[in-house]
Amino acid sequence: MLRNGLEPWHLLVVAIVFIVLFGSKKLPDTARSLGRSLRILKSEAKAMKDESTAPAAPTPADPAVR
């Protein structure tokens, strides 16, 4: 039934529905906000990846414990 998934006219219909529902004035603000959120998510994911791949700092040996 859905062999061809998304065709170009499906995307056009979805775009028209978004414009009708949200209005053309709110769409740029929404896209800008979504872009900021994705940038933040990407930077946080990169920080987590860098944190997990960085070797742990060696802890100095306690001279009192022998």
Q: Residue 64: its pLDDT value, please? A: 63
Q: Residue 23: its pLDDT value, please? A: 82
Tell me the C-alpha distance between 9 and 45, whole Å.
34
pTM: 0.49
Q: 4 or 21: which carries more pLDDT confidence?
A: 21
Digit-coded pLDDT (tens) for 9-22: 888 999 899 888 88
Digit-coded pLDDT (tens) for 28-48: 888 899 999 999 999 999 999
Average pLDDT, the chain: 81
Convert the chain into a string of H (helix), E (strand) and C (coil). CCCCCCCHHHHHHHHHHHHHHHCCCHHHHHHHHHHHHHHHHHHHHHHHHHHHHCCCCCCCCCCCCC
